[in-house]
Amino acid sequence: MLILRAFHPAAEERSNKGINRTRLELGSHRELVWIHSCARAGYPRRWADGGNIMSSDASEAPKPGVLGGFQSWAHLLRFCTAATFIVVLCALVVWAIVARIGPGQKLSISFNKEGSTLIFVDEEPSKALVLVSAGTLWQDTGIKVRPGQKLNIGATGLVNLAIHRLVEAADRDKKPRHGWVGPDGDQQKNEKPVDRIRKRLRIEPREGVGCLLAYVRAEGEPNPGKENPKPAGVQVVRRNGKITYEDNRGREGTLFLVVNEAVVQDTPEAEAAYVTTPEALDETYGKNVLTVRQLQERWGQLVKENYWELWFNDNVGQFLVQISYEAKPDS
């Protein structure tokens, strides 16, 4: 955990000892960033040990490859993930330091097991930062919310909810039917007949596809997911939004986030929307390119495999989500 103590700008107690202590704690922060980056990239723990960071055996180090020194696309992706994390964390530290902090207040930054970055002021939650994957059906942030608390949530980034269509269009130099969208979502005004029918399967049918949604699960209640994709109490966030958590039993809640996407369940309504109609299929894909019978066979396989998150598994991209706890009126 990184701990910084804020000093009032007008305070005269900024001694050399205090400056040195702050520098020492920032040095600990750099070590923490290195350790977390190594862990995310999948490198050996010994690389992250203090002192000589390259003290591991040479046989364990990445060997030069064909991708600018990377052995494979997977290694390159891991490196980019680690680099992105470092940049985001540095931005978060700056954001936290310039925030309004009173004299003598203690600022602490920590990371939970779900991957969220948490900022506390005098041990009270103040801000958080989360990378939300478009491919996760309800991502558990691990962020705790007490009844009555309000969260201001902002999001940036782009996601694509049909990567196979994107690849097909790129291969033919055509504009994709499903492009990249931001946290506000896309209402798809030029949607095809199949899209119009399957719109009812979205977590929030009235919101655009890709829109950022939030849900606070009260302690003791089931987690949202493929068995519980549309829990009661889903709140719309979009690019900037505010959510409030209330629970008449006074239970603490956990924040979950998701992009608005279609999800199927083992119900007649979902089956009808998945299979659609011959007319809709012909108008969308072409005459007899895809038939109702083929989709009925696919539906049977989905039921057999309990594969309800299928449309989340072809999603790519992430939203960078910033969360601020709203101060109480009397604070």
**pLDDT tens, residue by residue, 21-53:** 333 333 444 444 444 444 444 444 444 444 343
Band of the pLDDT at 90, cuts 50, 70, 90?
A: low
pLDDT tens-digit readout, 210-267: 999 999 999 999 999 999 999 999 999 999 999 999 999 999 999 999 999 999 999 9
Q: What is the pLDDT of residue 150?
A: 95
Q: What is the pLDDT of residue 171?
A: 85
Q: Are 134 and 159 in contact (CB under 8 A)?
A: yes
2: tokens are 């990184």
**3-class secondary structure, 61:** coil
Threshold 0.95, pTM exceeds: no
Q: What residue segments make up the domains of the chain, in order of their start?
A: 2-111, 130-263+310-331, 264-307
User: What single-letter amino acid sits at 285?
Assistant: Y
Distance, in Å, from the CA atom of 68 to the CA atom of 200, rounded to the nearest integer, reads 46
User: What single-letter amino acid sits at 195?
Assistant: D
Percent of the chain with pLDDT over 90: 54
Band of the pLDDT at 70, cuts 50, 70, 90?
A: low
**3-class secondary structure, 236:** strand
- Backbone dihedral angles phi then psi of residue 112, each to the nearest 5 degrees: -90, 170
Q: Are 130 and 153 in contact (CB under 8 A)?
A: no
Residue 331 burial (10 A CB sphere; 0-12, 13-18, 19+): exposed
For residues 283-304, give the mean pLDDT: 95
Distance, in Å, from the CA atom of 216 to the CA atom of 243, rounded to the nearest integer, reads 9
For residues 180-199, give the mean pLDDT: 89
What is the CATH architecture of 130-263+310-331? Answer: Sandwich (2.60)
Distance, in Å, from the CA atom of 44 to the CA atom of 290, rounded to the nearest integer, reads 48
In this model, does residue 63 exceed pLDDT 80? Answer: no
| Strand (E) or helix (H) holding 270 | helix 268-275
For residues 290-303, give the mean pLDDT: 96
**What number of CA atoms fall less than 13 Å from residue 239's CA on the CB side?**
8
